[in-house]
């Protein structure tokens, strides 16, 4: 009987989690799963969710297991994805933060939000890019294949969460570092984005930064909506993009 679980454990990273339905598809039924818990091969995390005995799953390994085993598309985004790629500007006190996103028709399981992991989870169900997966990429992190936002999409996700989760001044400092963004991908994302605020702020910051890739963006086909967007109280109005932003940002040179 131990041969079955040994073969399964050879297929996954040691810090992965195991979902009951996936184990069943791979030849280990629920009765056997219970037997493996009793014999010390696996340990129960929640109903229908296990980990390898003695191992400690991480946020990245859990998301990788969830997506791979259950055919989901939950991804790491915003500042977490930027940090992974070396654009480290946001330093969290205590545990690092994991910004996690899903489309409106999916969500992470409740036990994942409830339990303590190596990172503090901040989860958002967002329709900022509709159902499109433009700008999502696979990356190997600590032995797990993780779905995460490209720098282009991650920065726009930060703008989407501003000013509650990020200050616009801090985000502009990040924009100054984004010298190698891919204009074709930026264009696709801006056209797919459903948030007028995000598009206007991105174009304002991109133009202010003076990066060479900005010249390749066709702004005429990007729907920027109508009406004003106030992103800061007592801020400064930018007529070209019909937005009010912090004076600190507007006056920054």
Q: Are residues 164 and 133 in the same domain?
A: yes
Global pTM exceeds 0.85: yes
Res 219 pLDDT > 80: yes
Res 1 pLDDT > 60: no
Res 88 pLDDT > 80: no
Q: Are residues 21 and 109 in the same domain?
A: no
Domain total in the chain: 2
* Domain assignment of residue 26, given as a range: 2-52
Backbone angles phi, psi at 145, to 5 degrees: -80, 115
3-class DSSP state of 138: strand
Q: Are residues 101 and 223 in the same domain?
A: yes
Q: Are residues 193 and 226 in the same domain?
A: yes
Quickly state the pLDDT bin for 38 (edges 50, 70, 90). Answer: very high
Res 126 pLDDT > 90: no
> Maximum distance among all alpha carbons in the chain?
71
Q: Are residues 12 and 99 in the same domain?
A: no
Q: Are residues 150 and 183 in the same domain?
A: yes
Sheet strands side by side (includes 136-141): 120-125, 97-102, 75-76, 144-149, 136-141
The predicted pLDDT at position 51 comes to 96
Q: Are residues 18 and 112 in the same domain?
A: no
What confidence tens digit (pLDDT) does each residue in 97-108 have?
999 999 888 889
Q: Are residues 165 and 94 in the same domain?
A: yes
Q: Are residues 130 and 234 in the same domain?
A: yes
What confidence tens digit (pLDDT) does each residue in 4-13 have?
898 998 989 9
């Amino acid at each position: 009987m131990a041969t079955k679980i040994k073969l399964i454990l050879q297929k996954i990273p040691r810090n992965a989690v195991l979902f009951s339905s996936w184990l069943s598809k791979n030849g280990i039924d629920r009765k056997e799963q219970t037997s493996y818990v009793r014999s010390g091969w696996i340990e129960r995390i929640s109903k229908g969710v296990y980990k390898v005995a003695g191992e400690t799953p991480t946020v990245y390994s859990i998301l990788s297991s969830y997506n791979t085993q259950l055919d989901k598309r939950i991804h790491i985004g915003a500042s977490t994805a930027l940090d992974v790629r070396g654009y480290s500007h946001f330093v969290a006190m205590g545990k690092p933060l994991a910004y996690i996103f899903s489309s409106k028709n999916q969500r992470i399981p409740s036990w994942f939000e409830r339990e303590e992991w190596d990172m503090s989870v901040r989860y958002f169900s967002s329709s900022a890019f509709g159902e499109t997966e433009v700008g999502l990429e696979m990356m190997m992190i600590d032995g797990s294949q993780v779905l995460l936002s490209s720098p282009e999409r991650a920065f726009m996700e930060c703008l989407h969460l501003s000013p509650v989760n990020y200050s616009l001044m801090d985000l502009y400092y990040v924009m100054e570092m984004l010298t190698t963004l891919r204009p074709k991908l930026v264009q696709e994302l801006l056209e797919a984005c459903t948030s007028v605020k995000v598009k206007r702020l991105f174009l304002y910051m991109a133009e202010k930064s003076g990066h060479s890739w900005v010249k390749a963006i066709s702004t005429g086909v990007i729907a920027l909506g109508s009406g004003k967007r106030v992103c800061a109280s007592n801020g400064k109005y930018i007529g070209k993009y019909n937005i009010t932003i912090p004076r600190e940002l507007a006056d920054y040179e």
